[in-house]
Amino acid sequence: MTDPIVKISGLNKWYGEFHVLRDIDLAVNKGERIVICGPSGSGKSTLIRCINALEEFQEGEIVVDGIELGPNLKHVDAVRREVGMVFQSFNLFPHLTVLDNCTLAPIWVRNIPKKDAEATAMKFLERVKIPHQANKFPGQMSGGQQQRVAIARALTMNPKVMLFDEPTSALDPEMVKEVLDTMVDLAEEGMTMLVVTHEMGFAKEVANRVVFMDAGQIIEANTPKEFFAAPQHARTKLFLSQILR
């Protein structure tokens, strides 16, 4: 068995006096798809934002593909190059066209010539099925299209791990499917994914493991089958009864 591609050990984080993340241990193997769920405010976003150093933490260690990220956030740049992230609110750059959104980082971070960067970007835009809108501005697209562009933008950097923070929860119901389909495609290609979501259908279909968080800690982690059929912890049961109704 190879080393896990993401290894979180003894992670603790405080916002001032507030202990948001408590003793988090989590190892993600290459190609594994992990769904993180839990009630609002349980620290899901904070956890995955720690993985690419958007949040600093006070104790513990995160290792991404052999690169160590300690509390002093050394190697931030190296880690961020390995990790792509998709946000709830898309966060496309509104002043740049879709194509420029996708070529910006390859050009400025990886020093790839503009021509090559554009070719790569078009390849990924085709993969998320919006090559025809490459010259539009994000503001001229639907939410679902924007989120797919955001996925393409993250993929242009060839990340080894993709983080998704509630990628569908800002979308109208009919657009959720197109984004989830894109993510399923990505999963089938073998991408390592950590997904914070409340889409339990996605979890059942795609995830290798479901991680349930509450009050800043991991309460339960299991295969989706076990997790949904036989939750162990009382809090998990309560949460599932509320969300699956």
Partner 1 sequence: MTDIAASSFVRQDLVSERAAPVKTTGFVGFVRTRLLNSPTNILLTILGLLLVWYIVVPSIKFLLVDAVWSGNDRTACLAENAGRPVGACWPFIQAKSTQLFYGFYPEAERWRVNLTFALGAVLLLPLLIPRLPAKSVNAGLFFLAFPAVAFFLLHGGGIAGFGVSWVAGLLQLFADSISGAGEAVVGLSKTSAAGPALWAIGSAIVLVGTLLHWVIFPLTWLRDQMLASGQGPWPDFLITAVIVSVILFVLGGGARVGSRPLITCLATFAGIAAVIKLMGLDRGGLPIVDTRLWGGLLVTLVIAITGIVASLPIGVALALGRRSTIPLIRIFSITYIEFWRGVPLITVLFFATYMLPLFLPGNFTVDGLVRALIGVSLFTGAYQAENLRGGLAAVPRGQGEAASALGLSWWKTTSLIVLPQALRHVIPAIVNSFISLFKDTSLVSIVALFDLLGSLRASFADPVWTTPSTAFTGFAFTGIIYFIFCFGMSRYSLFVEHRLNAHRRN
Ligand X SMILES: Nc1ncnc2c1ncn2[C@@H]1O[C@H](COP(=O)(O)OP(=O)(O)OP(=O)(O)O)[C@@H](O)[C@H]1O
Between 22 and 30, name the residue whose CB sits nearer to Mg ion: 22
- Partner touching 105 among Mg ion, partner 1, ligand X, none, CB below 5 to 8 Å by kind: partner 1
- Partner touching 15 among partner 1, ligand X, Mg ion, none, CB below 5 to 8 Å by kind: ligand X
Between 84 and 224, name the residue whose CB sits nearer to partner 1: 84
Nearest partner of 154 among 40, 7, 52, 28, judged by Cα: 52
State which of positions 95-124 bind partner 1 (CB under 8 A).
95-96, 104-105, 108-109, 111
Measured distance CA(45)–CA(50) in Å, rounded:
9
Shortest-Cβ-distance residue relative to Mg ion: 45
Q: How far is the CB of 47 from Mg ion (least distance, A)?
A: 10
Nearest partner of 181 among 168, 192, 196, 169, judged by Cα: 168
151 touches partner 1 (CB under 8 A): no
Q: How far is the CB of 88 from partner 1 (least distance, A)?
A: 9
Give the interface segment with partner 1, choosing from 15-23, 131-139, 177-185, 227-235 (CB under 8 A).
Answer: 131-139
Q: How far is the CB of 195 from Mg ion (least distance, A)?
A: 12
- Partner touching 43 among partner 1, ligand X, Mg ion, none, CB below 5 to 8 Å by kind: ligand X
**Residue 9 CA to its chain's centroid (Å):** 19
79's CB contacts (< 8 A; 6+ apart) are 51, 52, 53, 62, 64, 67, 69
**Residue 110 CA to its chain's centroid (Å):** 21
88's CB contacts (< 8 A; 6+ apart) are 165, 166, 167, 169, 170
Contact 5, 190 (CB under 8 A): no
Strand partners, 7: 27, 63
The only residue of 37, 152, 154, 210 in contact with partner 1, by rule CB under 8 A: 154
Q: How far is the CB of 163 from ligand X (least distance, A)?
A: 12
The only residue of 9, 89, 223, 232 in contact with partner 1, by rule CB under 8 A: 89
DSSP 133-194: GTTS-GGGS-HHHHHHHHHHHHHTT--SEEEEESTTTTS-HHHHHHHHHHHHHHHHTT-EEE
* Residues making contact with ligand X (CB under 6 A): 15, 18, 20, 38, 40-46
State which of positions 29-68 bind Mg ion (CB under 5 A).
45
The only residue of 38, 60, 138, 144 in contact with partner 1, by rule CB under 8 A: 138
